[in-house]
Structure 1
Amino acid sequence: MRFLISGCLLLLCITGIAQPHTFTLKGKIGSLEAPAKLYLRYSINKTPHIDSVTLKRGVFQFTGKTDDPVPASLLLSRNGKPIQWPYDELMFYIDAGTLLINSRDSIKNAIVAGSTVNEEFRQYNRLMASIQSGESPYQTLKHEAAAVNRKFVIEHPASLISLTAIRFMSNDADTLPVFDSLLVLFNGLDKQLQAGKKGQELYASLQKKRRLLPGMTAPDFLQPDSTGKPFSLSSLRGRYVLLDFWASWCKPCRAANKELVKLYAKYQGKNFTMLGVSVDTKRDAWLKAVSDDQLPWLQLCDLQKDNAAAILYQIYGVPTTYLLDPSGTIIARNIHGKALEEMLAQLPLM
């Protein structure tokens, strides 16, 4: 399992002219009394907001301001203590005006009334839930999910949930033809939705993701090595390169390092190398991990909260790898373990 850099709701919102509007969330969850608490989490302009209320006879109310509909979640703590897994959680959209949220028992079963976007979101979730089966192979579920997403977008061209659906599909689109079909789907959306801030953000994201597909030239970047000397990815042209994004605090990364060390030793001296890019922000922790794991290949890190190379390569979780050919063309993305070994064995590594 890949270690997520940060947790986030995979939802989008559309914005027109940014004018703050008051929202009110009110409702009732059974007849719960103190110490039961309800927590509200959402983000506006990348600024997280967390609020809470203690329930009285199940009743609660939140108020605030938002520019547009924004994704949010309500989490119920029956004992009033900090939220712990498994969560009793409702995901929905905060919207201007008043939303009514009611349930007889738990927040996850609550119904949200008073908002078109939440009605569309409920329809979307109902469709996606119909295909969730642990008995089906992953690829089958993947294709079924893509079909449901595509159908929803075609039937709801003006819904901001369609932006969410396209983004979800883009995460699994691993060939140029499949990806380009998503651009066609985007172009079929309502023109106002396309032109809105979030529509344009999605379009820009799609363009960036397209440049990272197999067959495309890997974007070049410059980052300092452990001595502070700048190093460019393009300077490795002429060799096959495994570009590895990782972090000292990522346990799956550290486990993968052991296997990468073996592969590096096996192909050392051939036209193959590795380049590590750490998303660490603490120099000592980064260099200690390099030393402890005995990583002999070049390591880069800009020590910034948002690593520039990671942003360029749309890295949302580590470890993430890219395999490049001598011309700098991407051969594969996120290839690990046995699959990586088998691919390297087939390459002309002289």
Structure 2
Amino acid sequence: MKKYLILAASTLLLAACSEKPGYEITGSVSNADLNGQYVYLYEYGVKDAVPLDSALVQNGAFVLKGSQNSPALRTLRFSEEAVEPARVAPGENAPFMATFVLENGKLTVTLDSTSTVSGTPENDAQKELQGKIKGLRSGIDKLIADMKSGDEKLIEQAEAKYDEIDQKITEAVVNYILAHTDKQTAAKNLYDFRYNIGEDQQNEIISKADSTFKAVPGISYMIDHLNVLKKVAVGQKFTDFEMPDAKGEMHKLSEYVGNGKVVLIDFWASWCPPCRAEMPNLVKTYKQYKNKGFDIVGISLDSKADAWAKGVKDLDITWTQLSDLKGWQNGGAALYGVNSIPHTLLVDKDGTIIAKNLHGQDLEDKIKEVLK
């Protein structure tokens, strides 16, 4: 009898050892209209990806089970016919959609106007960060309304508060990333907030990141971009290129830069509202300093010649303008790592880059300083 008990125990032990560890996703969906719809599991960051799995939503709930060899970023979402895609601020999940780390264990997903995932340490930490971001943004709608009010004092106050909130959010995100440079959620946050986090801080993060972090979609692009920016950083010589003017005549940047004048290289486009808003300041600055050793070279990211020409005329731009009419594929923009506009570089008389992205009074103050 003892022999059979030993054999039975051994069989149970073998069975237990042969079971693969797995995950179980227990999901809830707040919108009753989505009952009877399938929610799909996708690999994160892969365009036109085929669903890895799916589950039917019944009575506001669904379950997904499987096994994951190593943690990986995944996205849960409905078809576009069931839930129309929506753009959201960085750090937020779109309505009824969630990006999370899929790993073995019990995960809880809530698909709602604000979706969350919890159940493992990394997903719990990301959920906590998202809650912090949501709390900081709680009064943003009123601030946006105030900025459209037409009341100058109210607009000024709202803009200052908005910038303060934006800075606090960025600080929270950077702190999270630096504390998790071996985590995929941190890498996703870096990519999502790439326009908010400064170049120096991005370089610091990348220098501390491990291979798992760097393998997340979008990070290799950021690394390449940072390497380009190092070549055109403050203190480096400007990078030359050739581009046509509005008449189709080719010109090298070196015809205007590095020849004894302080030059502002201005990447802009006629379709860019912030560029147009800044242009009166540039017109004023150009008129004031053009005969004192200052010049501007505009590099337009337009793709239509007529729109470019109209923009130049309407905005009273009288300085040199160059464009290959390739929009965001502009050859000069690629060499200077431009991924948002307006983007400016101030270059000293000998061709050394001395400042970046100065506007308004800050630009004028710098020009005064270097023209002494």
TM-score class normalised by the smaller sequence? 0.5 to 0.7
Q: Flag the structure with higher helix content.
A: 2
Shift of 1:278: 1.1
Equivalent position of 1:240 in the other structure: 262
Q: How does 1:52-201 map to 2 (within 5 A)?
A: 69=73, 89=95, 92-93=98-99, 101-103=109-111, 106-108=112-114, 110-112=115-117, 118-126=123-131, 128=133, 148-149=172-173, 151-164=175-188, 168=193, 171-173=196-198, 179=200, 183-194=203-214, 199-201=219-221
Shift of 1:221: 2.5
Equivalent position of 1:4 in the other structure: none
Rounded Cα–Cα distance in structure 2 between residues aligned with 1:85 and 1:192: 26
Deviations 1:39-95 (A, max 9, x none): 99x99778478x9xxx98656899xxxxx63678889999x8886999973664266
1:275 aligns with 2:300: no
Relative distance call for 1:57 and 1:248 in structure 2 (3 A) is farther
Equivalent position of 2:249 in the other structure: 229
Larger displacement relative to structure 2 (163-172 or 153-162): 163-172
Secondary structure in 1 aligned to 2:32?
coil
Rounded Cα–Cα distance in structure 1 between residues aligned with 2:335 and 2:119: 39
Shift of 1:257: 2.2
Relative distance call for 1:90 and 1:322 in structure 2 (3 A) is farther
Name structure 1 gaps, 5 residues minimum.
Answer: 1-24, 63-67
Rounded Cα–Cα distance in structure 1 between residues aligned with 2:215 and 2:85: 40
Rounded Cα–Cα distance in structure 2 between residues aligned with 1:317 and 1:219: 19
Shift of 1:337: 1.6
Amino acid at match of 1:233: L
Secondary structure in 2 aligned to 1:318?
coil
Amino acid at match of 1:283: A
Q: How many residues align?
A: 311
Relative distance call for 1:164 and 1:196 in structure 2 (3 A) is closer
Name structure 2 gaps, 5 residues minimum.
Answer: 1-24, 52-56, 65-71, 140-157
- Native 8 Å contact 1:74 1:89 kept in 2: no
Equivalent position of 2:358 in the other structure: 335
Larger displacement relative to structure 2 (127-136 or 204-213): 127-136
Shift of 1:197: 6.9
1:287 aligns with 2:317: no
Deviations 1:164-205 (A, max 9, x none): 45564785436xxxx2x7545433333454477755443323
Amino acid at match of 1:107: S
Relative distance call for 1:58 and 1:145 in structure 2 (3 A) is closer
Amino acid at match of 1:159: K
- Native 8 Å contact 2:44 2:99 kept in 1: no
Relative distance call for 1:264 and 1:202 in structure 2 (3 A) is closer
Q: Flag the structure with higher strand content.
A: 1
Relative distance call for 1:315 and 1:154 in structure 2 (3 A) is closer
Rounded Cα–Cα distance in structure 1 between residues aligned with 2:27 and 2:120: 14
Percent identity for Structure 1 against Structure 2: 27
Relative distance call for 1:84 and 1:328 in structure 2 (3 A) is closer
Shift of 1:273: 0.7
Equivalent position of 1:318 in the other structure: 341
Q: How does 1:207-218 map to 2 (within 5 A)?
A: 207-218=227-238
Rounded Cα–Cα distance in structure 1 between residues aligned with 2:176 and 2:101: 21
Rounded Cα–Cα distance in structure 1 between residues aligned with 2:84 and 2:119: 30
Shift of 1:299: 0.8
- Native 8 Å contact 2:170 2:196 kept in 1: no
Larger relative contact order (CA 8 Å, sep ≥ 6): 1
Rounded Cα–Cα distance in structure 2 between residues aligned with 1:209 and 1:166: 17
TM-score (norm 2): 0.63
TM-score (norm 1): 0.66
- Native 8 Å contact 1:245 1:310 kept in 2: yes
Secondary structure in 1 aligned to 2:326?
coil
Rounded Cα–Cα distance in structure 2 between residues aligned with 1:85 and 1:145: 15
Equivalent position of 1:300 in the other structure: 322
